Every structure is written in structure tokens, then in C-alpha cells.
Amino acid sequence: MIAGLMALCCFGQAGPLSAQTCNFGVSTIAFGNIDTLVATNQDASASVSVSCSGLLSRVEGTISVGTGSGGASGSLRLLQGSGSQLSFQLYKDAARSQVLGNGTAPINGTSIAFSSGSVQLNYSFNVPFYGRVFGGQTSAPPGSYLSTFSGADFSIRYRTCTAIICGSFTTTTLSTTATATVLENCLVSASDIDFGLAGSLAQPVTANGSVFVRCTFSTSFQVGLDAGQNSPGAGVRAMKSAGGQLITYELFQDAPRTIVWGNVPGSDTVGGTGSAGTITLPVYGRVPAQVTPPAATYTDVIVVTVTY
């Protein structure tokens, strides 16, 4: 009778193994700098550190993560900025196919199970998890974005086991943040301005082109056009032939061709504010009446500069 009671004691569920101590920590989920003008995702990883000592034992448990202070949009977590937000998600796996959560709405992900494996005396290890900010969120203005996970939003349920007995489960909580910074950025391209064929320059010749600007949402910018490669003097642009002859021309901001487009921000440049798409800025060109040079192909290269 006594032997039977002893066997039940040794192999049944016991209370906490009081001589065993486990400590947990968690790193920041730092997404770094985000360029919203590109469609690629921005990934990051973090980990929970586990360190136990005091008995020959192992530890096992689960890590559960809630929505975070940034809230959610549908099933996606949100990083909050100044009047705006970024969608992101946390995952259990490096392939980012299994959402990390606590089994409840709105995230509806599941916990990470972990174990130290075999029984050891003192041990420590990391449990990784993964994050992703989704690309192409063009409506997010520059600035810092944050979501905090604390209390029930980041909990660990665990127990320790010796070779023959496991303690009861206990729960601890951790605090961490997910952070990202949206940077100001602009992309620019331009179309050629082709004045076409002209047998004589006794009369002015006009042509149009375009500058295409795409900047981070709400970013102020100025677009400048330099004097080109063949300018014979200040305030004069010129196209040049292979033989070295010149045809002077000018570029303007307006259709009546009264406002010259230059390269001094705030003075003779064209300004705007970034939106969710590409902004098209027309360029108006004119070759003034002048002495007709020898027949040839005349070209110039203008450098477009965006200041933001």
C-alpha cells in the first residue's frame, strides 16, 4: 500500500519546482527605415530569450502575442505614427506563413510552442519570431511608427520538468515594441524634348516635354533643371552639333513661355507636394529665331534635380 502511494507521488502532477529559476526577455522588433515608394516588403526578426538554472531539468511552454497598442485593420496589426499608420504582421516562421497570435480575434494567429529539449543543469536559448511591414503603403507620410506589446499582449506560459516530474504551468509577461521609420524620398524621370526638323530658324520653334516626380506622401519638393552641357553663358541653354555649332534654346515652366525653369530651389524651380502617385510636370521649350546654323543634329543633356 505504501509502495503504491509513493509511485503515484513520483509520477503525478506536482506543484512548481521551486528550486528551478527561469528568466525571460524579448528583443525589439525593429523594421528600420521604410521606403514607401517601393513595393517590396520590409522584414525584421526578434527573439525571446530563455535562461533556466537550479535543477537538472528542461522547460517547455508557449509564447502568445496579442494585437499591440497600434490596433488592427482587419487581421493585420498596425504601427501608429503621427496621424497615420503602417500595416504589419508577426509570424511564427521565417517563411512568414504562420501568423503569431494568441488564438483570438482580430489577429487569429496561434502561439509559438518551445522546449529546451533534453534535461540539463543550466541552459539558455532563444525562440525566434518574425515580422513584416508590407510594401507599397504610399499613403504613409514620413515619420516614426510604433506599436507596444505589454502585459497580456505578450505572455509566456511555461513549466519546468525534471527527468521524472513536471511542475505546474505558470504565466509571465514581457514588454517590447515594434518600430519603423518612413523616410522622405523622391523618384524622378523625364521625357525628351524634340524640336523636330527645321530647315530655317527664322521663326521660333517650340516643343514640350515632361518631368515625372513621385515623392513620399506629404513630402514637399522642388524640381530644378540645370543649364545643360553646352551653355555659352549664364542664363542661356544651347544644343550642340558634332561640329561644334550651337543653337540656343530655353525651357519654361508655363505654356506662354514667360517663366524660365532654372535650378535654384525656391527661386526659379517648380515645387509640389508628394502624393500617392506620380506627378507630371510639363516642360515648355522654345528655340528663338536666330541665324540658321549648318544642317546637323543638335543635342543637349539637362540634369533634373529634385530637392526635398
In the chain the domains, ranked by start, together with CATH numbers, are 17-182 (2.60.40), 186-307 (2.60.40.1090)
Assessment of whether the complete model's pTM goes beyond 0.85: no
CB 172, CB 150: distance < 8 Å: no
Average pLDDT over residues 167-194: 97
CB 231, CB 302: distance < 8 Å: no
pLDDT at 16 (0 to 100): 46
pLDDT at 3 (0 to 100): 37
Compute CA distances 5 → 12, 92, 163, whole Å.
11, 43, 19
Residue from 179, 177, 181 nearest 26 by CA: 177
Q: What percent of the chain has pLDDT over 90?
A: 86
pLDDT at 8 (0 to 100): 32
* Nearest-angstrom CA–CA distance, 193 and 257: 15
* Nearest-angstrom CA–CA distance, 60 and 185: 46
Pull the grid cell for residue 280.
Answer: 507630371
Residue 306 has pLDDT above 90, yes or no: yes
* Nearest-angstrom CA–CA distance, 280 and 267: 20
Average pLDDT over residues 270-283: 95
Average pLDDT over residues 283-308: 98
Average pLDDT over residues 25-35: 98
* Nearest-angstrom CA–CA distance, 90 and 78: 11
- Determine the residue type at 280: T
CB 173, CB 151: distance < 8 Å: yes
Q: What percent of the chain has pLDDT over 70?
A: 94
> Which strands, in side-by-side order, build the sheet including 154-161?
112-115, 58-65, 154-161, 170-173
Span 67-92, pLDDT tens digits = 999 999 999 999 999 889 999 999 99
* Nearest-angstrom CA–CA distance, 46 and 180: 14
